[in-house]
Structure 1
């Protein structure tokens, strides 16, 4: 059974602060939000501590993350204070994965940018410290079409003579019915496809979603490196960092919208240049 526990409903608990070198491999499944928006964050442990199983996970809530809650897990004890959520008493083997979830709302007066949620992963006496971040996008730079809000549109710079390029964007459906992204087009490519990454026979593979991508009612779908994305096939010119790539997205219900993808560095995650510019 999974339950949600509010930090306001639990007494403050003193948590021992430990230290260890910081790493940068634990990330939120959903990495973007905006000031004033509700946020459901899911963190996945990437591994244990050099062979030792994980027995405690503590997330520190940053300033401006309001009405914070944490999701209880069977086999774990959850303690929530004014500033932290701590799961303890469980055991995740070094080669296994486990998810831990929090909910809350980003204050409306927060400035756009990266909001870090410090995480301590404890394996007996060993501790790994992580700094997963959520990028708050500027609401003034959102693009709206029908019930859909598009934000954080970007592409990665391509290497010389690369035949393909990748495009990414966050789509929020504020309506009561689902919509579907059915096609994409750009003068940079004769064929822009919607792709997903899927594990087939223990091998990560890329699959063309010919049927399109559903945008469920009341939910946010993020196209990001390593997951759902737009693949520009046989690009006609390179994606150059600092420039933009025009893109038209067509939705089943909302219709078509023109946006521009900010071209970031080759390995960018979208956390520094997050604007989705409306086309002219």
Structure 2
């Protein structure tokens, strides 16, 4: 009987230690948001640094998060650092090129207590459903600091990190279409950006996962408002954004997820017959080497910047 009680006590102790360790990290109260929506970030600081009180909380704002407004906190001074974004974003129909890049609260929080620090922000279309956005946090104490700045690599479990940055997962907006299954492929969140009047090209973006054991390849598609659809790649070379067609299609390896997104691989809708308008849903197809043609529905979202939604950096288009 004593042996049984001892084993139970050990299990309970191990569970308590694990729970304590998990709760010791700096986290957000709500770790989920939707694209192009206002998010209330409640950052939880559960302890000090090795028993020392917390004197400063510094939060770095990642690229693609805009309209940041921190909430003043009684007993703490509040400072922000502003800077220029890597590209222009759209906010209420107006281009926004700069904003808050860092928030600093300065005060005192005893190690025996817990507190929350609040700010408001907006996630742009730089982040699509399924992505996790990380906010590096530095917690400065009387003697040392805690650096909550580690970000997992692709495929790495965030729980394996010693000092992970708190993250917010981007979820599908309410009413968004369900994922499409086509053979071994899962197709999620097809979307496009609204285009200004007179624009002749548009962009198409989508997330594709191959759950099978054989590779497949995205080789084309159709989009009724455009004469043709091409697969392109954008990459920064010598401070010039170069765009070129992807010859032979885009491979989706077994077990891999490929995301077509602004600034990387994407579909180009060529010779548009009419502008793409925010709020539209437009049916089209994606064509795969093995899965064949798959019907999808693109959700059109507000323009995210200049040049018809493309990045505002200098761009060179190669054919």
Under TM normalisation by the shorter chain, which class is it? 0.5 to 0.7
- Structure 2 SS opposite 1:158: coil
CA contact (8 A) 2:189 2:206 kept: yes
- Structure 2 SS opposite 1:69: helix
Tell whether 2:254 aligns with 1:254: no
CA distance in 1, matches of 2:276, 2:290: 30
Which shows bigger deviation, 209-218 or 13-22?
13-22
CA distance in 1, matches of 2:135, 2:253: 23
Aligned pair in 2 of structure 1 residues 15, 207: CA closer, same or farther (>3 Å)? farther
Aligned to 2:205: 168
Deviations 1:153-174 (A, max 9, x none): 1111110101111111111111
Q: CA deviation at 1:24?
A: 4.3
CA distance in 2, matches of 1:253, 1:165: 26
Aligned with 2:193 (options 152, 156, 159): 156
CA contact (8 A) 1:198 1:206 kept: yes
Aligned pair in 2 of structure 1 residues 256, 133: CA closer, same or farther (>3 Å)? same
Aligned to 1:182: 219
Aligned to 2:270: 233
CA distance in 2, matches of 1:44, 1:212: 35
CA contact (8 A) 2:134 2:151 kept: no
CA distance in 2, matches of 1:153, 1:57: 33
Aligned to 2:259: 222
Q: CA deviation at 1:224?
A: 1.3
Aligned with 1:196 (options 228, 233, 240): 233
Aligned to 2:32: none
Tell whether 2:61 aligns with 1:23: yes
Q: CA deviation at 1:245?
A: 2.2
4+ aligned runs moved over 2 Å, structure 1: 7-24, 26-33, 41-45, 55-61, 67-71, 132-140, 199-204
Tell whether 2:135 aligns with 1:135: no
Q: CA deviation at 1:26?
A: 6.4
Aligned to 1:90: none
- Structure 1 SS opposite 2:222: strand
CA distance in 2, matches of 1:174, 1:217: 6
Aligned to 1:58: 149
Which structure has more helix as a fraction of its residues? 2
Q: CA deviation at 1:222?
A: 0.8
CA contact (8 A) 2:133 2:170 kept: no
Q: TM-score, normalised by structure 2?
A: 0.50
User: Alignment length, in residue pairs?
Assistant: 188
Q: CA deviation at 1:60?
A: 9.8
CA contact (8 A) 2:135 2:149 kept: no
Runs of 5+ unmatched residues, structure 2: 1-16, 25-46, 66-122, 137-145, 306-319
Aligned-CA RMSD value? 3.8
Structure possessing the higher radius of gyration over alpha carbons: 2
CA contact (8 A) 1:154 1:167 kept: yes
Q: TM-score, normalised by structure 1?
A: 0.56
Q: CA deviation at 1:43?
A: 6.2
